[in-house]
Structure 1
Amino acid sequence: MSDRRQKISALSLVHDLATMDQALYETVTVTRTPTLDTALRRLSAAADHSKISFAVATGLALCGSRPRRAAVLGVAAVGIASATANLLGKRLVRRPRPHRAEDSPFPGRHVPMPDSASFPSGHTASAVAFAAAVGPAFPAAAVPLGLLACAVGYSRVHTGVHYPGDVVAGALLGTGSAALVVALASRADA
């Protein structure tokens, strides 16, 4: 395949992914879920500035040396994920936030629209980083924190501030940040 064909094929793939991302976002915005709206709005707001992760880390730190180590790893992973998403990713990509129509069918589910770029989701990156770093060090927390991270990611789409692709990118960034922290910690222990 020629270079020109490869570039056209890559551009077509990017266009198709963007179209699918927009369609998924729009599907969520028009789906009536009154029971979930309040809970997801509150969860999204509670995840601002990694407040949930820091609260869990504080609780873990009070439970002994193994959970304390897990908390330290989780907080370190949040730091890397947050800095990478907010200081690098958003500034490089500069994807606009989703458009919210003035006549949105469910305005009560929205959280305030951040001023920063949309891609990647920093909330998701940080929540996933925390869960993925804590899990290997303290397995009892792996599933609950993983589910919480997934809920935080979905809440960002549900509340109208991110496209699904932003959340997927944030999750990948969070996973990578956690893997880096865990690898560095293992190396330091060796």
Structure 2
Amino acid sequence: MDGAVYAAVAATPTPALDRGLRRLSNAADHSKISLTVAAALALAGRRPRRAAAVGLGAVALASATTNLLGKRLVRRARPDREAARVSVDRQVRMPTSASFPSGHTASAVAFASAVGMELPAAALPLGMLAWAVGYSRVHTGVHYPGDVAAGAVVGLASAAVALAVVDAAPWGDRPLARLRR
């Protein structure tokens, strides 16, 4: 099923989306989008600064889990863009790492989820951005949809761990404890 969905995305002509999704996929390299948003949040006050810090902690955890554990354990080959006839106009550089799970998606979801829990007003726009990053990885031909889904699970788990660590920390107020009341 994973290959069939990948092939269906590849076969669907979307010239109006190709350039934008290619740019988005490249912009998400090395969590540049999350770092940029975190920098803006850090300038916006104490609570947004805290959200940025928790979000970046979640990104660090997601990235380490994905790259040091997930990709090494599963070692799934990247999709064959040529066989699927992914349009050259969509393509980004094919990574040399394993395909499963998607690190871009894991990091984007980790950041969006952690920041969204700290700043609920940011949850929807950052969640939509994370979804778009994940889809862009399939659209550009570098991941199967299952890789993206697994990356999202890693991202959610990483955000939960980062938030739990902050909640249990002896310093600062406890936002999750506040939410549970």
TM-score under structure 2 normalisation?
Answer: 0.92
Q: Distance in 2 between matches of 1:102 and 1:142?
A: 38
**Helix, strand or coil for the counterpart of 1:118?**
coil
Kindly indicate whether residue 132 of structure 2 is the aligned counterpart of residue 132 of structure 1.
no
Q: Distance in 2 between matches of 1:165 and 1:98?
A: 11
Shift of 1:68: 0.2
Number of aligned residue pairs: give it: 171
The answer for unaligned runs of 5 or more in structure 2 is: 175-181
Listed as ranges, the matches of 1:1-190 within 5 Å are 20-101=1-82, 104=85, 106-188=87-169, 189=173
| 1:46-96 Cα shifts (integer Å, max 9, x gaps) | 000000000000000000000000000000000000010011100110000
**Helix, strand or coil for the counterpart of 2:82?**
coil
List structure 1 segments (4+ residues) > 6 angstroms apart after TM superposition: none
The answer for unaligned runs of 5 or more in structure 1 is: 1-19
Amino-acid identity (%):
67
Q: Distance in 1 between matches of 2:86 and 2:66?
A: 31
Q: Distance in 2 between matches of 1:81 and 1:47?
A: 14
Which of 1 and 2 has greater Rg?
1
| 1:112-171 Cα shifts (integer Å, max 9, x gaps) | 100000000000000000000001111111100000000000000000000000000000
TM-score under structure 1 normalisation?
Answer: 0.88
